[in-house]
Amino acid sequence: MTTPGFCVLYRFKIKPDRENDFIESWSAVTVALRDTRGALGSRLHKGPDGLWYAYAQWPSAEVRRAAFEGDPADAEASARMRDTIEESMPEIALDPVADYLILDRPE
C-alpha cells in the first residue's frame, strides 16, 4: 500500500448560481497544479450541508508549499474561482495513514 505524503481538505460556500463556474475553474486550477506543480490530484464533492469539499493529495507538504510560491499555476482560472466563492473555510492539513482508494478497478 502506497500513501500520498500530504493531503489538504478545502471547504467552500459558493455564490448562488455560480456552481458551474466554480466546477470549471476549480477543475482548471487542479489540472494545472497536477500537470505543472507536482500535485497528485484532487476530488471535488458537494455536501448535503450545501458546502463544497475538495480533497487534494501531494507528495509532501514541501511540494505543496513550493507549488503556491510565485505566480498561480493558472492565474485566469484562479481568479475566476475566487470570484465564485462566497466563503472559504480554513484548510485542514492531513497526514495519510492508510489509502485504499481505487482509481481504476482492474478488469
**CATH number, position 79:** 3.30.70.100
pLDDT band with cut points at 50, 70 and 90 for residue 1: very low
Taking the C-alpha atoms of residue 14 and residue 39, their distance in angstroms, rounded to an integer, is 24
Q: What is the arithmetic mean of pLDDT over 23-36?
A: 98
The parent domain of residue 66 ranges over: 6-94
Number of domains in the chain: 1
Residue 52 lies inside a defined structural domain of this protein: yes
pLDDT band with cut points at 50, 70 and 90 for residue 3: low
Give pLDDT tens digits for 39-92.
Answer: 999 999 999 999 999 999 999 999 999 999 999 999 999 999 999 999 999 999
Taking the C-alpha atoms of residue 13 and residue 19, their distance in angstroms, rounded to an integer, is 10
Taking the C-alpha atoms of residue 77 and residue 22, their distance in angstroms, rounded to an integer, is 9
